[in-house]
Amino acid sequence: MPHTLVSRRSSRLLVGTAALAVVAAASGAAYADLKDTGGANRHNGDQTAEVAAQIKYGKAKNVILFIGDGMGDSEITVARNYLVGANGTLAGIDSLPLTGQYTTYALHKGDDPLTPTDDTNKPDYVPDSAATGTGWATGTKTYNGAIGVGMDGTTPKQSLIEWAKSAGKKTGDITTAEVQDATPAVQLAHVADRGCYTPLGQTVTVDGKAQKKDTTKCPGQKSISEQILDTRADVVMGGGRGWFDAQAANGKSVYQNAIDAGFNVPQTKTALQGVTTADQTHPVLGLFASGNMQTRYKATPATATGYKQPSAKCVTNDVAPDPAAPQTFPGNQPTLAEMTTKSLQLLDNPNGFFLQVEGASIDKQDHAANACGQVGETQDLDEAVQVGMNFAKTHGDTLVIVTADHAHTSQIINAADITDGTSSVPLAATFNLLTADGTTETVAYGTAQIGGSQQHTGTQLRVAGFGPGAANVVGLSDQTDLFNTIKGALSGVGLDPAPTGPVVQPTPPNKACAAALALLDKLQDKLKKAKKKHQSNKIARLKGEISGVKYLSKLC
């Protein structure tokens, strides 16, 4: 009798699992019409053996953690519908076989006047990126705004990067935001307030404007920019170059201190391509923008009447945050996928590594009620995840996790249900996207006044994994559990022993196999034609379809 894979965690291994989608994104069209019974099915046969086969025991040599800032289930769905269609599959984000959900709440630092009793240290249901990042980076719940510190704002909590360095691993932290921003900073700094970018009293020019984010709210603590140098990860990449012009206590700029300390500081895609090593002698500090890096798609701000406007396609961004930078995306900046590729090349070594990768501006574009902006940033992250998954599959012993820090505001609503002049008109900004399905997707933003900064929400989030230790994301967990999952996978401490005896292997469905093999060549021909015509949306959709077909073909 086959071994049933029972362990002390078996009660939650398969509960809540979103089993592998082994049928291609195009499978609905290839095997049945969506209108037919079963035509929209993503599974083809029993998934039990396939899911069981994805539970990998033992240590992980490497861990790649992908964070989509503000990437809730709604943001993933908005992007999937637009890029590959409702029955499609995002080739990176949707490819991880083991999934669960986790809670993300922060803690109240002080008493909330809206609560009848003192709620200090009790759950604050809507978190920010600082509190959530501190949760997975250190295993510690804290208050909104805190970077790597406890509830007192001063007690530093060891981050995964700090721990991995002490364990002899190489480390990396890359983002499309400023490297001082909350998500990258939780791995590299310990400050009472996320806004403490520069030494006290410093005003610098960022994106052509005089700006000040000093340590006024972080007395006795070094700025985030300075601590990035002190922590000395092997690879740090993103934007935020302007903040390094601030003057440090020694009279030199933080940027000059980085050069003096041996950091290699590439500032363009071309310069990054020439980098061949990253270590403690010469760490890489890639700074590719004055502030945040440019987004892929041009802004499409939602409006009060967006729901009744013709649906639109997204177009390449030709407006950069920095007026002095090239204006058409990506300009001289590397994409997130390119930064991920280079980071993996630089970090790969016999002792292993930990790498955090953030797609930062899903959140920032959600705040701006910019549907195309958030779709493009989700697409960027999806492409980076594909890079990470390819590495994991070819190198082995690599745990890949894809998740988010907090949920956000965008929702898909039905414009057909809105009747002008009645109470059914949403008190929200809306925008109509023309999706890969050739139909309209109405995206609504209603957590702030129209034109204001849309707010985070407090819902639980998807967390997905592949490789050794990925089973620990299954079911319902908390964000702080991710710290233990990653640390445990890299250290090997507390892991379940591998079962003895045979393990059931998945049997591919014969009809699906035959159809998949026949479909693959056709899809690849379509992809070549789409590339020649520079049809970016069609290229993304076809890549998702091909990825699904290839996976099914492997089972055959």
Quick check: helix, strand or coil at residue 332?
A: coil
Amino acid found at 420: D
| Structure token digits, residue 23 | 């049928």
Which H or E run contains 355?
strand 353-359
| Structure token digits, residue 510 | 């014969």
Would you list which residues are annotated within the binding site?
Answer: 69, 181, 183, 358, 363, 367, 405-406, 456
Beta bridge partners of 463: 100
| Structure token digits, residue 501 | 């005896």
Would you list which residues are annotated within the binding site for Mg(2+)?
Answer: 69, 181, 183, 358
Beta bridge partners of 236: 173, 285
Number of Cβ within 10 Å of residue 328's Cβ equals 12
Residues with Cβ within 8 Å of 172's Cβ and at least 6 positions away in sequence, in order, are 233, 234, 235, 236, 237, 278, 343, 346, 347, 353, 354, 355, 356
Nearest to 537 by CA among 456, 436, 420: 436
Contact indicator for 384, 338 with CB cutoff of 8 Å: no
- Cβ neighbourhood burial of 524 (10 Å; 0-12, 13-18, 19+): middle
Contact indicator for 147, 331 with CB cutoff of 8 Å: no
Catalytic (active site) residue 536? no
Q: Which residue has the tokens 């899809």?
A: 523
Q: Cα(62)–Cα(397) distance, rounded to whole angstroms?
A: 7
Quick check: helix, strand or coil at residue 477?
A: strand
Q: Cα(85)–Cα(106) distance, rounded to whole angstroms?
A: 35
Contact indicator for 443, 412 with CB cutoff of 8 Å: yes
Which one is catalytic: 27, 95, 129, 343? 129
Give Dmax (Cα) for the chain.
72
Q: Cα(521)–Cα(506) distance, rounded to whole angstroms?
A: 24
Which H or E run contains 432?
strand 429-434
With the C-alpha atoms ordered 68, 59, 179, 328, is the resulting torsion angle positive or negative?
negative
Would you list which residues are annotated within the binding site for Zn(2+)?
Answer: 69, 363, 367, 405-406, 456
Q: Cα(239)–Cα(332) distance, rounded to whole angstroms?
A: 12
Return the active site residues. Answer: 129
